Amino acid sequence: MEELNTMQPDPNEEPLMNPDDKKNPATDMMQEKTTEISENEHVDVPKEQDGRMSGAESGSSKEDVCDTPAETETAPEAPVETETADAGEGDMEGELEGEATEDDAERFATMGREELVAALEALLQQEVQQVKHQVTLLRSRFGELTQEAERANYEAFLAGGGLKEDFQSVEDAVSAQFRKLYGVYRERRQRYQEAMEAQKRQNLAQKQQILEELRQLIERDEESLKATYDRFNEIQDKWKEIGEVPRESLNDLWQTYHFLIEQFFSKVKISKELRMLDLKRNLEQKMALCEKAEELMMEESVTKAFKELQVLRDRWREIGPVPTEHNEEIWQRFCNAANQVDERRKAYYEERSKEMEQNLLAKQALVAQVQAHTAERPQGVKGWNEVTATLDELLKMWKTIGPVPREANEKVWNEFKGGIDAFYRDKKAFFSQMRDEQTENYNRKIDLCLKAEAIAKREDWKKATEELLALQEEWKQVGNVSRKVSEKVWKRFRTACDEFFAKKNEFFKDIRQSEKENLAKKEAIIEQLKAFEFGEDKEENLRVIKDFQRQWMEAGHVPMREKERLQKEFRAVIDGHFERLKISLREAQETAFRERVDRIRTSGGRMSGERMALTEQIEKLRNNLKVWENNLGFLASSKQADLLRQEFERKLQDARQQLALLQAKLKILDEAEKEQQEKQA
């Protein structure tokens, strides 16, 4: 039988699709009807009845080669081999085009772009007609990775402060190499298609020549009957050996061939012996087909076995009847083998269908994860980037899952892709707004730079210092700017501040002499404190220590290189007196804090930072106390609960003591600020 292989347009000309938008073989199996042959469709030679030929035989075609009755030897008529123009076309197309397996899809899914280029180069070493589907899968995967890389470049460009209208896509070296190799593949495939079409035209010419030989055989009278029939068999064998012809010529060609076959048997009176010779020849051919069908039962590839079985079914249909005594036996033998191949294929696609259902469940789970991670939009850059990384991982997982049932493919893909697309639309809007805010922050910082540069030229040191410090505080409150300009604008602001304080320090360098005098005063205070004899009155002792601390602060600044040494020595003497006088830790801490406040006030510093820190600590402790007291009320009566209760009570006691100390420090700070305001008034 003529096997058709019509080359289809190159599917790679189409745009890249959803990785799951491919045919579902399990669904196809449920929908397709197997191309099969009727056992009744056979070629009989005529019996002699009173020296006359019987009427012409009409062959009948049914779907299943193994579901129809066995061929009969009754009412033999002229042989007419019936064949439809489309028989076997789809199967042979698959053989010539090569078959992409799940292993190919999984292998390509784990490759990077450079590896895919190397894989394409390796496929080009094979016959072009054998790698079409592998190249299609590979190209689709390469396109996906290229789109991901392009998106990453785009996001990085925007994150770096670029404008979307300025972004330009540039083909990298990997894409250029892939395009070059794919061009080689397309050129080779085009040449192969042209060669196939030329071969079909050549085959058509050869078959037309055979038809002419058959006409001449019918018109010839001088040869013996045996020689004529042998020549007829040679013509049939030559016909079957010739490959495909152009589709548009197929029906006319076969109709002419069948007509001439009928004409041959109408003219030639074949003897009973010659008929038996033909039946025996048919039996040998069908036995050979049975052996090949039985070999297919052991073929590892279910798809390959089924395709080759279709070829055997086509050949079975071309072979005429066999002797009656062997008819049922040979028929059942072929059917048994064919049915087992069909059952394997059915079981294979049923298993594939189950796998696709599992794949659907897995992809629906990924859809749920996408919905969970995108239900609430992040509030900051870090959050957006974390969710983006999570979605990228989910997309990678999606690509590792196999196909799903065709009827569910579009829905689950749209749900998955829709959730991700909506997230990226909102992300784009977020970063667009962030860039607007960064632009506004940049303008505010430029304004602060201008003000700082103006202050740097002034010499009213106290007021200018306060204003510059206020600008520094305001700078801290301004949000971020683009990384491209952040360092530049910060250096400009810091330069102005440094310039001012350098001028101020230069102005006050004459004060260094007074610092030397203050050094002598503080050293004297330390000696006096060491030699002082304290009494038994704790209140008086604290008053004396506080008076020494006041003298210490009033002594003024000392050289920076001596400041730390003096402070440590003074602190050590104070701490020693606290220990000997058995003054409590809290009293010592309050005294130390009062000393710290005095230093801040004397140095001209601002106490707002101290107040803010104390207020935050107090608020935090109060919140903790509420939580612990609330938890304490929920504890049941048990040994374990008693241990927890003791732990909470210990924490509560410590927290209350700490809270009292902080409140005392806040009071000291209030008194110091009030005293400072009275002096300024």
Three-state secondary structure of 37-59: CCCCCCCCCCCCECCECCCECCC
What is the rounded CA–CA span in Å between residue 288 and residue 294? Answer: 10
656 CA to centre of own chain? 54
- Which H or E run contains 546? helix 538-554
The pLDDT score that the predictor gives to residue 595 is 72
Amino acid at 102: E
Domain coordinates in residue numbering, the chain:
20-94+271-368, 195-269, 587-681
Tell me how many degrees the CA angle 403-408-411 measures, rounded to the nearest 5.
Answer: 110
Distances (CA, A) of 559 to 511, 518, 562, 569, 633: 10, 9, 6, 15, 57
Residue-level pLDDT at 92 = 35
pLDDT of amino acid 309: 92
182 phi and psi angles, rounded to 5 deg: -65, -35
Round to whole Å and give the CA distance between 62 and 78. Answer: 20
Q: Cα 8 to the chain's mean position, in Å?
A: 31
> Crossing angle, helix 406-455 and helix 461-477, to 10 degrees?
180
| Cβ 34 vs Cβ 7: under 8 Å | no
Evaluate the CA torsion angle 313, 315, 318, 319 in order and state its sign.
negative
List beta partners, residue 49.
52
Angle 259-263-269 from CA coordinates, rounded to 5°:
150
Angle at 361 between CA 359 and CA 365, to 5 degrees: 115
The angle, 0 to 180 degrees and rounded to 10, between the axes of the packed helices 324-374 and 272-296 is 30
pLDDT of residue 614: 85
pLDDT of residue 181: 94
How many angstroms separate the CA atoms of 210 and 675, rounded?
A: 125
Which residue spans within 302-372 are E strands per DSSP? none
Which two three-digit tokens encode residue 156? Answer: 């990085």
For residues 473 and 497, the answer to whether their CB atoms sit within 8 Å is: no
CB 364 within 8 A of CB 411: no
Do 82 and 119 contact (CB within 8 A), yes or no?
no
Report CA 409 to chain centroid distance, whole Å: 17
Q: Are 548 and 529 in contact (CB under 8 A)?
A: yes
pLDDT of res. 638: 61
Q: CB 672: neighbour CB atoms within 10 A? A: 17
- The single-letter DSSP state of residue 4 is P
For residue 219, the SS3 value is helix
Ordered mean pLDDT values, 10 residues apiece, the chain (681 residues): 31 35 35 30 32 30 38 30 32 44 77 92 90 90 89 81 78 92 94 92 92 87 73 88 87 86 70 73 92 91 90 84 90 94 91 90 92 86 89 90 88 89 88 85 90 89 89 88 87 91 80 81 89 80 81 83 88 80 66 74 70 87 83 67 76 82 83 76 63
**pLDDT at 49 (0 to 100):** 31
pLDDT of residue 631: 76
pLDDT of residue 481: 83
Task: Residue 578: name the closest of 634, 534, 618, 526 by CA.
Answer: 534
Task: State the DSSP code for 576.
Answer: H
Sequence-ordered list of residues with C-beta below 8 angstroms from that of 73, at least 6 positions apart, any chain: 44, 321, 323, 324, 327
Compute the C-alpha angle 592/594/595, nearest 5°: 65
B/e letters for 344-381, b = 16+ CB within 10 Å, e = fewer, are bbeebbeebbeebeebbebbbebbebbeebbeeebeee
What confidence score (pLDDT) does residue 223 get? 64
Residue type at 203? N
Q: Kindly report whether the global pTM for this prediction surpasses the value 0.95.
A: no
Distance CA 136, CA 131 (A): 9
Q: What is d(CA 104, CA 574) in angstroms, rounded to the nearest whole number? A: 82
Quick check: 78 and 278 in contact, CB under 8 A?
no
Q: Which two tokens stand for residue 299?
A: 């073929």
Per-residue pLDDT, 6: 29
CA 585/CA 661 separation, integer angstroms: 10
Helix (H) or strand (E) holding 31: helix 25-31
